[in-house]
Structure 1
Amino acid sequence: MAFLKRELYRQLKGTETTHEDRCSLVFDTDTKSLYVEREVAHLEIGNGGTIECQTATMDIADYLTQGGQTAGHRELWRLLRALFNDDSGNADSSREI
């Protein structure tokens, strides 16, 4: 099983308690599915180094309709615009399916 991942957003904050929030665009080459994966991790140094990690996956449309415009939203929109950019100079771009 191979996954192709492109990080959309990462936020790291804290000193004694570290919180990391990361979103990635993921393509599963086996199932041919494209989705957003969000990973949230908390590391508490004072309690013996306990760590708690949560991972959730969501449809791209669901991710984009979440409240607010994070850096992850803006990066995904940028990637989508680049992917679907109309290149008028390319003869293949005018083909209809």
Structure 2
Amino acid sequence: MAFLKRQLYRQVKGPEITHEDRSFLVFDTDTKSLYVEREVTHLETGRGGTVAFQTSTMDIAVYLTQGGQTAGHRELWRLLRALFNEDSDGASGET
């Protein structure tokens, strides 16, 4: 199973990495599916601290309609515009 991933967004909060939020555009080459994957990691930095790690996947349209416009949303829009740029090959949307 092969996955092609491109990072859309990364945010780290805390004096030492105590919270990290990352989003990726993912293409699964086996199932031929394209989606957004979000990884959130939280580290409790006290004695005996714990690490919480959560991964979720969502359809691209769902990701783009979530509240707010993050750097990840802007990067995905940029990639989509570049992918479907009609001026690049003169195709004008024809298939």
Q: Contact (CA 8 Å) 1:2, 1:29: kept in 2 or not?
A: yes
Q: Which residue of 1 aligns with 2:62?
A: 62
Identity across matched positions, percent: 79
Q: Is 2:71 the counterpart of 1:71?
A: yes
**Which amino acid letter does the alignment assign opposite residue 96 of structure 1?**
E
* Equivalent residues of 1:26, 1:34 under 8 A apart: yes
Instruction: List, as ranges, runs of 4+ consecutive aligned residues in structure 1 with deviation greater than 3 Å.
Output: none
After TM superposition, give the deviation of residue 16 of structure 1 in Å.
5.9
Amino acid at match of 2:94: E
Could you tell me which residue of structure 1 aligns to residue 94 of structure 2? 96
Q: Which runs of 5+ in 2 are unaligned?
A: none
Deviations 1:13-52 (A, max 9, x none): 1126701000000000000000000000001121423100
Which structure: larger Rg?
1
Q: Is the 8 A contact 1:21 1:40 kept in 2?
A: yes
Is contact 2:86-2:93 (8 Å) kept?
no
The equivalent residue for 1:84 is: 84
Q: CA deviation at 1:7?
A: 0.2
CA distance in 2, matches of 1:30, 1:15: 40
The 1:64/1:95 distance shift into structure 2, 3 A limit, reads closer
CA–CA distance in 1 between the matches of 2:93 and 2:17? Answer: 54
Over 3 Å counting, the alpha-carbon distance change for 1:16 and 1:87 in structure 2 is: closer
The 8 Å contact of residues 16 and 44 in structure 1, kept in 2 or not, is answered as no
After the TM superposition, which residues 1-97 of structure 1 pair with which residues of structure 2 at under 5 Å, given as runs?
1-15=1-15, 18-87=18-87, 90=89, 93-94=91-92, 96-97=94-95
**Cα distance between partner residues in 2 of 1:52 and 1:95:** 44
Displacement of 1:80: 0.2
Unaligned segments of structure 1, at least 5 residues = none
